[in-house]
Structures are given as structure tokens and as C-alpha cells.
Amino acid sequence: MEEDVDVVIHALSMGVVHKAVPMTVGLCLGVAARIKDSVPWTVVNQARNGESNNRGEEGAEFEDVRDHGLPKVKSATVIRTGRRLMKGMVWW
């Protein structure tokens, strides 16, 4: 299981570790992990022993390289699951 993880993050909300990773954090980290020589890219690259960072999990699309050699993000997408979060009854 540990070998399936490339990056571990902790998101803070009001100074407390969030119970889940907010979508905005996941999207930003996913995009940054695809930008060569960024800190997330380096961490992922080391975790994967040099294998490609472009596995398509984060759904980032880039335009041509812009000023200062940095790519411009065209879009970023996220896939959500349809799993049940709760089952119950309500009486009033």
C-alpha cells in the first residue's frame, strides 16, 4: 500500500488538519506535479524512480510554454466518485 503513494499532504483549515483533501488543493497539487522541476514534480519523480509523471490521474491540460519557460494551465479536471456517504432515516 505504501508503494502506491507518491505524495502525502495535510491541508489545514482554521489551523486544524482537514479530514479530507479539498478539491482545490488536489487540483493544484496535481497540476504542479506535472510541471517539470517544480517541488511536487521532483517529489513524485523520486517516488516513482524516474517513471513518467504523466499518468493522466489529475486531468491537467497545458498550453504552449509561456514567459520564463513556465507552461500555462489551460484546464484542470477532477473525477468524483458516486459512493454513498450515508444511509439513514429522518423523522420530524
**All structural domains of the chain with their residue ranges:** 2-76
Q: pLDDT tier at 55 (50, 70, 90 boundaries)?
A: low
| 76-85 core/surface letters (b: 16 or more CB in 10 A; e: else) | beeeeeeeee
Which of 23-37, 39-53, 54-68 ranks highest by mean pLDDT?
23-37
Contact residues for 15 (Cβ-Cβ < 8 A; gap 6+): none
Q: Quote the pLDDT of residue 53.
A: 55
Which of 12-16, 48-52, 63-67, 68-72 ranks highest by mean pLDDT?
12-16
What are the cell numbers at 72?
A: 500555462
Give Cα 14 to chain centroid, integer Å: 21
Q: Measured between alpha carbons, how far is 39 from 65 in angstroms, rounded to an integer?
A: 18
Beta-carbon count within 10 A of 31 CB: 20
Quick check: pTM over 0.75? no
